[in-house]
Amino acid sequence: MNENFMKEEPVLPLITSMALPMVISMMVNSLYNIVDSFFVAQISEDAMTALSLVFPVQNFINAVSIGFGVGINALIAYYLGAGEGETANRAAVHGMALSALHGVVLMAACIAIMPQFLSAFTNNAQVIDMGVRYSNIAFSFSLIIMLGLAFEKIFQAVGNMKVTMIALMAGCITNIILDPLLIFGIGPFPEWGIEGAAVATGIGQIVTLLIYLFVYKNYPLRIRLSRRYLTCDAGLDFKLYAIGIPATLNLALPSLLVSSLNTILAAFSQSYIVVLGIYYKLQTFLYLPANGIIQGMRPLIGFNYGAGEHERVRKIYNTTLVLNAGIMLGGTVICLTVPDVLMAMFTDNAVTVEAGAQALRIICAGFIVSAVSVTDCGALEGLGKGVPSLVISLLRYVVIIIPAAWLLSRSFGAQGVWHAFWLAELVTAAAAQLVYKRFSK
């Protein structure tokens, strides 16, 4: 492969070739999330509630792994673009070692806090028990998650998206196949209920990591991992965290948002908590493909920024924005036309289906405009501007939506929470453009 293809190929075909494998893998991952929730919902609505309450902590673990991976990805792409291959190798090794440390710490901490965390949102003993049983197993794979995501970002940084696609799809497909077998005890498999869903997820993550290890060992890669690069380099570690911490917070903020909204909605009915949990499963069909495009864009922006190709950076950004807006338009049309069908996939409670359909019709008003803030955040991360990216996410997930949801719920009940979504997206998009234009000069 031409090592300079990231700055020489035409922009649209290049973004498409980089993003398409990630979009496909993200769509498969979305399907996994839907299928996983579908099978868990067959156990009981309490099981679905437990899964919804565990989601914020589960999302936080993923946020740390992906967010720090963004730092690894950005530095490797930048140094490769600048022609500093040895420094790129050192960034990869330090990133991998620190990712492993994060995995061990998060596994212990998250398992320890779950009983108290779940008790803060429900007094239903069955829900708490199911949530603890699921999370004890799911969080035990935190180290595997961290190492897999570190490899993912390394492969993406050198433009090898196909390997990432294959690894992610293999893990998701494994999970989808094992879900019903381990949850319901089909054939020779044991009937483990909600624990079976957690085990299936963990096995899928192991499959993904094994594929990365196999490809790295047997095929040449521009980045090499070696213990000789694992020397003290505080400056490099600082750069990894300077990008990785804001990126992690960007991804972790939805967990804070979901927990806050669950607290507000719990005052009205547990059904609304289920609706919110189902919405966050459904919206992965939109935001994960959009994230796939961002993952294709990010190394391109980093590489071209490192190579001094600033006009090309602008073209990459504009093309990505149009692609993401197209995805959001499709999601808006679907949520306006068949919201009840989408909700009925996860619950047969007529009241929950009706409430969820109404929520989707309101929330989707902010989908298209959200493409602006999503693209701006990814572009700023690619440029190594972690803090400005974090500012946009804080506006989107905390500063605007949580106060708006609380205030509107005082006057309009649970419906006010749904209106806060599109309001926050509109205000954040305007602010995101101001932030991006300032820091991308």
Q: Hey, what are 6's tokens?
A: 């990231």
Coil vs helix vs strand at 130: helix
Q: What pLDDT score does 30 carry?
A: 66
Phi, psi angles (nearest 5°) of residue 124: -80, 110
**Predicted pLDDT at 363:** 95
Structure confidence at residue 48 (pLDDT): 85
Q: What pLDDT was estimated at residue 2?
A: 53
**Residue 303: CA count within 13 A, CB half-sphere:** 22
Residues of the chain with pLDDT under 50: 1
pLDDT in the model for residue 332: 95
CA 192 vs CA 39, 125, 135, 305, 365: distances in Å: 12, 19, 14, 50, 40
In the chain, pLDDT over 90 holds for what percent of residues? 47
Return the residue matching tokens 């990365």: 212
Q: What is the pLDDT of residue 11?
A: 85
Give the pLDDT score at 214.
Answer: 96
Left if phi > 0, otherwise alpha if psi is -120 to 50, otherwise beta: which for 384?
Answer: left
pLDDT at residue 3, as a whole number: 60
Give the number of other CB atoms < 10 A from CB of residue 415: 17
| Predicted TM-score of the model (pTM) | 0.75
Burial of 140 from C-beta contacts in 10 A (0-12 / 13-18 / 19+): middle
- Rounded to whole angstroms, how far apart are CA atoms 191 and 205? 21
Nearest alpha-carbon partner for 236 in 34, 93, 117, 429 = 93
Residue 85: count other Cβ atoms within 10 Å of its Cβ: 15
Q: How far is CA 197 from the centre of its chain?
A: 19
Report d(CA 378, CA 374) in Å as an integer. 6
Q: What is the spatial distance between Cα 429 and Cα 107, in angstroms, rounded to a whole number?
A: 35
Q: Which amino acid is it at 374?
A: V
